[in-house]
């Protein structure tokens, strides 16, 4: 069930991941200079792949866990590109490119033969809106966690008074990392909120009720509250820097656990049982 776009996309992501890693290791190679264009090329090729799948499925291709993960990887690559280019943060490339590559490679290797038929109840305009918002929110949280990780590693080195490695010359300042983390969390939180709202509207239109307390919904609500708390603590008491970075990673861990757990246990509509 792979399209012709998938293998070239994987190749580009692999080259990009290698390039970013080499740059991080202080190797000035041609590959390191091409890391960002390769990431963009990978994302463009994967867009082709997703379009083909979407046309076959008749809607956004997110009918099972693997597909959702691939879709999430694609959004992460896109959001990562924006952060790398617009906010001049190539340092997170070494985190984004390998993740996207690994997710896509795993999914390509284990791709199930028959593609899941899309149930009639799901064929709605709300599906792409709801799913894209939710997964875009998650993609931003993925990158925020990456930025936080960079922050913690870098902060520790500054505290330990070993700050000047030659490869660190291009690492952004702590202040900038902290600010970008905050912005990513804010945008991610907004996307997640909109995903919840659109999901509720859609559920109401299809099944006649906004909320059904199935596991995916409950966990999403938990995560929504956690991120809300994270943003709140910054705005009121001013928790920032190290503490904010550590909390971002902690909340992200909960998010990963719930996303994987809920999807694999496959209960409720989000798990593919559409009563």
Partner 1 sequence: MRESLFIFGVNHRTAPVAVRERLAYPEGEIVAALARLKEAAPTIDEVALISTCNRVEIMGVTTAPDRAQTEATDFLAGDRGVDATAFAPALYTHQARSAVRHLFRVGASLDSMVVGEPQILGQLKNAYAQAATAGTAGLVLHRAFHKAFSVAKRVRKATLIGHGSVSVSSAAVGLAAKIFDTLTDKTVLLIGAGQMAELTARNLKRLGVQSLLITSRTFDNAVALARKLDGTAVPFDNFRPYLKLADVVVGSVAAAAPVIGPEEFEGVIRERRYRPVFMIDLGVPRNFDQRLNALENVYLYDIDDLSTVVRESIGDREREAEKAEGIVDLEVDSFLKWLDGLELVPAIKDIRSSVEQLRELELERHRAWLAGLAPGERERIESMTRGLVNKLLHRILSGLRDGRAGIPDGVHAAEIARRLLSTELAIEGGALIDDDRDEDDDL
Contact residues for partner 1 (CB under 8 A)?
28, 158-159, 161, 163-164, 166, 168-169, 171-176, 179, 237-243
Q: Kindly tell me the burial class for residue 223, based on how many C-beta atoms sit within 10 Å of its own C-beta (0-12, 13-18, 19 or more).
A: buried
| Whether 207 contacts 257, CB under 8 Å | no
Nearer Cβ to partner 1 (56/159): 159
Q: Rg for the chain (alpha carbons), in Å? A: 19
Closest CA to 171 of 196, 188, 152, 191: 152
**Residue 255 C-beta: closest distance to partner 1, Å:** 24
- Tokens encoding 217: 């919904």
**Residue 157 C-beta: closest distance to partner 1, Å:** 9
CA distance 186 to 246: 16
Nearer Cβ to partner 1 (186/215): 186
Nearer Cβ to partner 1 (175/232): 175
Nearer Cβ to partner 1 (29/273): 29
- Tokens encoding 22: 């080499």
Beta-carbon contacts of 35 under 8 Å, excluding residues fewer than 6 positions away, are: 15, 16, 18, 19, 20, 23, 90, 93, 97
| Whether 115 contacts 1, CB under 8 Å | yes
**Residue 52 C-beta: closest distance to partner 1, Å:** 42
Nearer Cβ to partner 1 (37/163): 163
**Residue 165 C-beta: closest distance to partner 1, Å:** 8
Nearer Cβ to partner 1 (166/208): 166
Chain-centroid distance, C-alpha 63: 18
**Residue 240 C-beta: closest distance to partner 1, Å:** 5
**Residue 166 C-beta: closest distance to partner 1, Å:** 5
């Amino acid at each position: 069930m792979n399209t012709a776009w998938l293998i070239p996309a994987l190749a580009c992501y692999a080259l990009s991941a290698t390039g970013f890693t080499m740059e991080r290791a202080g190797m000035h190679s041609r590959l390191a200079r091409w890391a960002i264009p390769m990431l963009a090329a990978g994302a463009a090729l994967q867009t082709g792949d997703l379009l083909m799948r979407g046309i076959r499925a008749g809607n956004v291709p997110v009918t099972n866990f693997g597909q959702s993960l691939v879709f999430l990887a694609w959004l992460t690559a896109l959001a990562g590109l924006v952060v790398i280019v617009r906010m001049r943060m190539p340092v997170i490339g070494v985190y984004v490119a390998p993740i996207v590559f690994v997710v896509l490679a795993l999914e390509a290797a284990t791709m199930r033969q028959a593609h899941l038929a899309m149930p009639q109840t799901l064929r709605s305009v709300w599906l792409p809106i709801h799913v894209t918002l939710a997964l875009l929110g998650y993609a931003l949280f993925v990158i925020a966690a990456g930025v936080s990780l960079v922050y913690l590693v870098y902060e520790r080195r500054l505290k330990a008074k070993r700050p000047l490695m030659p490869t660190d010359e291009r690492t952004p300042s702590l202040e900038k990392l902290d600010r970008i983390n905050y912005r990513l969390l804010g945008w991610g939180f907004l996307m997640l909120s909109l995903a919840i709202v659109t999901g509720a509207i859609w559920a109401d239109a299809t099944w006649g009720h906004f909320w059904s307390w199935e596991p995916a919904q409950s966990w999403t609500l938990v995560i929504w509250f956690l991120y809300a708390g994270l943003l709140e603590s910054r705005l009121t008491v001013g928790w920032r820097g190290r503490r904010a970075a550590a909390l971002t990673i902690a909340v992200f861990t909960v998010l990963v656990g719930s996303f994987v757990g809920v999807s694999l246990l496959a209960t409720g509509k989000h798990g593919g049982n559409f009563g």
